[in-house]
Chain A
Amino acid sequence: MMSKVSISHVAVLIITAVLLATPAQVQSSEQKGLEIAEERKARDRGWGDSQADASMILRTASGQQIERKMRMKSLEMQDDGDKGLTIFDQPADVKGTAFLNYSHAIEPDDQWMYLPALKRVKRISSRNKSGPFMGSEFAFEDLSSFEVAKYAYKYLRDEKINGMDAFVVEQTPAYEHSGYTKMVVWIDKEHYRAHKVEYYDRKGSLLKTLTMHDYQQYLDKYWRPMKLSMVNNQNGKSTDLITHELTFRTGLDEGDFNQAMLKRAR
């Protein structure tokens, strides 16, 4: 009995050693892509909650420029997409309007909009996550949290980006109603942060390019870009999402992300 166990142990050890010695040959590009995604998510786990002051700068192809101001509260959820509450401060006609979102990986998000003039909370049909957020070049799905289950992965190649060694990974949305057929993401090897994303539309052509700038580290662990820059490659419009101030672990809990809270968001 004893010897049987030790023989099988030895066999497992040998197989493991062989696998470890020759990962490139054995591991498929799908597996490697998934591992990169899992590591990316693992490194970002445990941030808890955050509050941010942010601006969106919307630019048309002709150079017209407009600023939107908002405050965002976020809550990390363990086995689901994150929860978010956004309060708009500018333009003045939407001041006081608030948006509540429960994001989900492969299901439609749950979304509500609070209209202060009517004192009314309206449920939003969110099946199509590809709709633009506040008239910007960001779609709702571009702004929701990164969850491993959202995509199928394929490692493409190694490449340098902004002087850093990076993985280039192709992500195919698992969500049926996504606006994209695929995304190509550049992730640096040191911290597993995304630096650039290319979005391909339903016809397979390049639609938008997102670049991340000015990464800052919070709580000695979590990296956040202070500027997200989205350029629409098809119509020449662009949107910058700029974070002015960001605070983690502010004591928010699920009770801060319900309809009652949405109605009194200020």
Chain B
Amino acid sequence: MKKSFLALSLLTSLSTLADTQTYLKAAIEQRFYFQDALYEQQHNSDISVFIEPELYYSWNQGTGSINIKPFVRYDSRDDERTHWDLRELVWMQIGDEWEMRAGISKVFWGQTESQHLVDVINQTDFVEAIDGEDKLGQPMVQFSLIKDWGTLSAFALPYFRERTFTGVEGRFRSPLVVDTDNPLYESEDEEKNLDWAVRYFQYFGDVEIGLSYFDGTNREPGFIPQTTEEGLSLRPYYEQMQQTGLDMLAIVGGTLYKLEAIHRKTSQEDFYALTAGFEHTSVGVLNSHYDIGWLMEYQYDERGEQATSLGQNDLMLGSRIVFNDIDGTEVLIAYIQDLDDSSSRSGYVEASSRINNNWKWRLDGWFFSSDTQTEPTYLLRRDDYIQFSLEYYF
């Protein structure tokens, strides 16, 4: 009797301490390309919609929780871009100085803005955007210790996610389409190779340091040309890699200095790469309410022209203007110049503002230019676009 009463009161107290939160993001996006497409199957405009609901349920004052976040996109032109993903389906348990996550989740590592060398846990959802900021949900078990001496996290990653690539009708591709149905792996276990990683992070006042190590399937594929009944295509090949990463941030006066450096080793090669730069923000420029931030980052890859990343010896210059108005208006303009090849450059613009509590507009534009056939930017030389989005949040 006493026991059941205790159990009942425990249950009641648990349910009163439970919490459910819902989030929703959806958008309709219209893209216009400035130049005629390079390949006949491609189009000069594109309309697309996506929806991303999220449900968070926690119990016992938030010490236990689950989070579910599916994502679905429909694209009017590219079948490969019409896709869905479980961004998150994760159970989290937290204690005084530890946390544990199991399920599908997303992790971000690093400090720089122009590219994310250190951040290797999640695969890039490349059909989403050319900037590579969108990620696929990664199956993982994570355990972190949160101590005075820093945060130490260990990750076991039991299943690999392949990178998404645009299809025949999509833009941003080489003359040969990537055959995403037939990937090749170095590991005998293929996508079931058990990857693992550790990360240490600490904050010392004006300096932050992160150290990471990853051993497993390289998220960046190589490509092997193949001939099938449909013609020539590229098979993605995923090697094994060991990557050591360092990321740092230091504040000096009103300036943030940022550094990311990696050493990556595969059976084929062994190289260093880094991104280093600064961000300086001036508040209340010319007695206005505007904040203007100046960004400069240098990108280096020891492999030079063989680099799979866009930034092998490149300089990014950018400016972020924050209007500090009720609508939260922001504009970011960036320009990236290849220092080895003056004809290779790219730039982008991102602007957004609120319409009301639930609606927001956004404008994104990308511009690419290159005369050099060996440059990755050369493939994108006719893919300049501007995209207008109407976003709904709830």
A and B co-occur in one complex: yes
**A93 near B393: Cβ-Cβ < 8 Å:** yes
Q: In the complex, what residues of A have CB within 8 A of residue B23's CB?
A: 95-96
Q: Mark A101-126, 1 if CB is under 8 A from B, else 0.
A: 00000001010000001111001010
**B279 near A125: Cβ-Cβ < 8 Å:** yes
Q: Which of B19, B108, B326, B357 contacts A120 (CB 8 A)?
A: B108
Interface hit among B6-14, B91-99, B331-339? B91-99
Chain B CB within 8 A of A258 CB: yes
Chain B CB within 8 A of A264 CB: yes
**B255 near A125: Cβ-Cβ < 8 Å:** yes
Give A251's nearest chain B residue, CB to CB: B61
Give A95's nearest chain B residue, CB to CB: B23
**B256 near A123: Cβ-Cβ < 8 Å:** yes
How many A-B residue contacts, CB cutoff 8 Å? 88
CA distance A23 to B393 in the complex (A): 62
Interface hit among A3-11, A12-20, A127-135? A127-135
Shortest distance between the CB of B198 and any CB in chain A (Å) = 16
Chain A CB within 8 A of B205 CB: yes
**A130 near B151: Cβ-Cβ < 8 Å:** no
Q: In the complex, what residues of B have CB within 8 A of residue A131's CB?
A: 283-284, 291, 324
**B283 near A128: Cβ-Cβ < 8 Å:** yes
**A118 near B326: Cβ-Cβ < 8 Å:** no
Q: Mark A245-266, 1 if CB is under 8 A from B, else 0.
A: 0000000000100111000101
**Given A125-B251, A128-B284, A258-B146, A264 contacting B289 (CB threshold 8 A):** no
Residue of A93, A179, A259, A266 ringed by the most chain B CB atoms within 10 A: A93
Q: Give the interface SS of chain A, mostly helix, strand, loop or mixed.
A: loop
Q: Which of A67, A132, A264 contacts B324 (CB 8 A)?
A: A132
**B151 near A264: Cβ-Cβ < 8 Å:** no
CA distance A96 to B21 in the complex (A): 10
CA distance A66 to B356 in the complex (A): 9
Chain B CB within 8 A of A90 CB: yes
Interface residue ranges of A125-148 to B (CB < 8 Å):
125, 127-128, 130-132, 135
**Given A64-B326, A120-B108, A125-B281, A260 contacting B62 (CB threshold 8 A):** no
Shortest distance between the CB of B123 and any CB in chain A (Å) = 14
**B291 near A91: Cβ-Cβ < 8 Å:** no
**Given A92-B358, A118-B133, A128-B254, A66 contacting B284 (CB threshold 8 A):** no
Chain B CB within 8 A of A60 CB: yes
Q: In the complex, what residues of B have CB within 8 A of residue A184's CB?
A: none
Give B21's nearest chain A residue, CB to CB: A266
CA distance A94 to B394 in the complex (A): 10
Give A110's nearest chain B residue, CB to CB: B205
Chain B CB within 8 A of A58 CB: yes
Shortest distance between the CB of B299 and any CB in chain A (Å) = 19
CA distance A96 to B325 in the complex (A): 20
**A118 near B108: Cβ-Cβ < 8 Å:** yes
**A266 near B56: Cβ-Cβ < 8 Å:** yes
**A259 near B255: Cβ-Cβ < 8 Å:** no
Give A254's nearest chain B residue, CB to CB: B148
Q: In the complex, what residues of A have CB within 8 A of residue B133's CB?
A: 118
Q: Mark A64-78, 1 if CB is under 8 A from B, else 0.
A: 101100000000000
**B324 near A125: Cβ-Cβ < 8 Å:** no
Q: In the complex, what residues of B have CB within 8 A of residue A135's CB?
A: 324-328
Q: In the complex, what residues of A have CB within 8 A of residue B251's CB?
A: 108, 123, 125
**A266 near B249: Cβ-Cβ < 8 Å:** no
Q: In the complex, what residues of B have CB within 8 A of residue A108's CB?
A: 251
Give A65's nearest chain B residue, CB to CB: B326
**B144 near A93: Cβ-Cβ < 8 Å:** no
Q: In the complex, what residues of A have CB within 8 A of residue B58's CB?
A: 266
Chain A CB within 8 A of B203 CB: yes
**A130 near B146: Cβ-Cβ < 8 Å:** no
Chain A CB within 8 A of B360 CB: yes
**B99 near A130: Cβ-Cβ < 8 Å:** no
CA distance A2 to B92 in the complex (A): 72
CA distance A127 to B279 in the complex (A): 13
Shortest distance between the CB of B136 and any CB in chain A (Å) = 13
Q: In the complex, what residues of A have CB within 8 A of residue B97's CB?
A: 255
**A132 near B289: Cβ-Cβ < 8 Å:** yes
Q: Which of B56, B282, B354 contacts A93 (CB 8 A)?
A: B354
Q: In the complex, what residues of A have CB within 8 A of residue B280's CB?
A: 125
**Given A135-B328, A179-B284, A260-B151, A91 contacting B108 (CB threshold 8 A):** no
Q: In the complex, what residues of A have CB within 8 A of residue B284's CB?
A: 128, 130-131, 179
Q: In the complex, what residues of A have CB within 8 A of residue B203's CB?
A: 259
Chain A CB within 8 A of B176 CB: no
Q: Mark B327-355, 1 if CB is under 8 A from A, else 0.
A: 11000000000000000000000000010
Would you list the 7 A-B pairs with minimal beta carbon distance, nearest first?
Answer: A92-B393, A128-B283, A127-B254, A131-B283, A120-B108, A93-B393, A119-B108
A93-B393, A255-B146, A260-B151 given; name 7 further pairs at CB < 8 Å.
A120-B108, A123-B111, A131-B324, A255-B96, A259-B151, A266-B56, A266-B65
A–B Cβ pairs within 8 angstroms, 11 of them: A90-B357, A91-B354, A125-B280, A127-B253, A128-B254, A131-B324, A135-B326, A255-B97, A260-B99, A266-B58, A266-B62
